[in-house]
Amino acid sequence: MVLWRFAGSAGGAQRQSQKAFAELEASYMRDQTHPPPWPIYYIAVRIMHFTQWLAMKLQLRPVFIMQTAAGFVRAQVLETIIQLDIPDVLAAGPRTSAELAADKGSNKVLSKSGPEAHTLYRNNSNTAVLRADHPNCMRNLVQAVIMTGKPWLNHLTWAMQKDKSVNGQTGPDTPPRLMAEREFGGQSLWEWQAADPARDKIFNDGMAEIDKSAIYGVIHDHKWGQYKRLVDIGGGYGQFTKSILLNHDVPSAVVFDQPHVVEPARKALADTPLKERIMFSGGSFFDAGTLPAGRDGDAFLLRQILHDWSDKQVIEILKSCRRAMGASSSRLLIVEQGVGNKLLDRICGARQVDIHMMGALNGAERSPQQWQQLLSASGFAFNGVDYVRSPFNIVQALPI
Ligand SMILES: C[S@@+](CC[C@H](N)C(=O)[O-])C[C@H]1O[C@@H](n2cnc3c(N)ncnc32)[C@H](O)[C@@H]1O
């Protein structure tokens, strides 16, 4: 399969010694989230940018287009090997495709015939990250990305066409078509998820896995110790807040989300030392009355929230936050991938996330200029972007 490294020769079936295999597999289990120090990180990003650009330039156009068209196969294979637990099975030792097929109840896709039947597969540094016990495990995150993207993106063409039935015209004011209307009878992504606890858990566990994989720079490059309290709005299971509190001297935090999301999070925290410092609160960020009231020294955090919503809804959410802050000296931090930084957009896949958000939710990744406009329409002053060593950056704003 695309992601597995060839581990034995056809016909030869060279099994590695158990010790060599165990050492190699163990080497993949290291925490891989620590980026290098700033100057090296910056140079590495530039080199990645250049090599990606060069690879694309060197490729013949038709071949590049063919590879792009087949890109969905990679994503599907990724999801399938997770659903079949293949990285966990391979953690015990290399297997031939026939052995894997036998493990999983014989299946002709997994079981190859001819000389390839003897090829041994083991994890590589990519598939190891899909092991359930990997410190950067991304199993749920991968499934959440595919689950929330695939159904809606099937209707991308339809959504791109202006809908005359909406207001009888096709001018720039025609609202975009919501893909969810086609797929799930008009339910929003959040309603669709809430209707199925298993789906909801994959999504929320997936969001928490972002903290195990891509957030080191956000936690370590920003001066979190300056805040007296974090108010993590739409904070899911609270993993981001936990990471900040474990690494910085922030006295306390409130994680705010929909009631059915905060309940399991509250229970999960009940037996940990952080339970004294983190409170959970349920409500809706469209209703300022349900948000925690701001206090001096608060940071209101919105991580991966606003990219889920249209400009109009973003202004409503920001206005709710502004109202909840009242006269306190709180500040606002928006943690998202964003767009508008030429170097980072391509390296971090921000444009794909942008299309995903448009497809699933009529949302968008936004540039600093767009943030300035949305913030000033909601009672905030844009106070710059803190670029950190992560695919995410931190947009800062002050209440006015
Ligand atoms: C993309 S997730 C981000 C979760 C978390 N902030 C993170 O970055 O891992 C969006 C979150 O918004 C929450 N959400 C959606 N609608 C909400 C609402 N009306 N009020 C409060 N939270 C809401 C969802 O339950 C979900 O946890």
Alpha-helical runs (H) found in 28-85:
38-58, 61-69, 71-83
DSSP state of 294: P
Orientation angle between helical segments 71-83 and 139-153, nearest 10 degrees: 130
- Cα of 130 to ligand 1 centre, how many Å? 24
Architecture per CATH, domain 213-399, reads as 3-Layer(aba) Sandwich (3.40)
DSSP state of 29: T
Say how many CA atoms lie within 13 Å of 111 toward its Cβ.
Answer: 10
Contacts of 26 (CB under 8 A, 6+ apart): none
Say which amino acid occupies 271: D
Q: Would you state the pLDDT for residue 108?
A: 56
Which ligand 1 atom lies nearest to the CA of residue 285?
20
Contact between 24 and 124 (Cβ < 8 Å): no
Give first-to-last CA distance, the chain, whole Å. 55
Q: Would you state the pLDDT for residue 6?
A: 32
Pocket test for ligand 1, best of 138, 203, 258, 317 (most atoms within 8 A of CB): 258
- Cα of 61 to ligand 1 centre, how many Å? 40
338 lines ligand 1 (CB under 6 A): no
Contacts of 214 (CB under 8 A, 6+ apart): 33, 390, 391, 392
Nearest protein CA to atom 5 of ligand 1, as residue: 235
285 lines ligand 1 (CB under 6 A): yes
- Cα of 35 to ligand 1 centre, how many Å? 27
Q: Would you state the pLDDT for residue 4?
A: 43
Say which amino acid occupies 315: I
> In Å, what is the CA distance from 15 to each residue of 115, 133, 258, 302, 371?
15, 24, 51, 50, 56
Pocket test for ligand 1, best of 189, 190, 317 (most atoms within 8 A of CB): 190
Q: Would you state the pLDDT for residue 3?
A: 38
Every domain of the chain and the residues it spans:
5-130, 213-399
**Phi-psi group of 13: left, alpha or beta (phi > 0 → left; psi -120 to 50 → alpha; rest → beta):** left
Which residue's structure tokens are 């958000």? 357
Strands (E), the chain: 5-6, 95-96, 120-122, 229-233, 252-257, 278-282, 298-303, 331-336, 380-387, 393-399
Q: How far apart are CA 15 and CA 119, in angstroms?
A: 10
- Cα of 73 to ligand 1 centre, how many Å? 29
Q: Would you state the pLDDT for residue 38?
A: 93
* Phi and psi at residue 53, to the nearest 5°: -65, -45
DSSP state of 175: P
Q: How far apart are CA 204 and CA 193, in angstroms?
A: 10
129 lines ligand 1 (CB under 6 A): no
Q: Would you state the pLDDT for residue 251?
A: 97
- Cα of 306 to ligand 1 centre, how many Å? 9
The list of the chain residues with pLDDT below 50 reads: 1-13
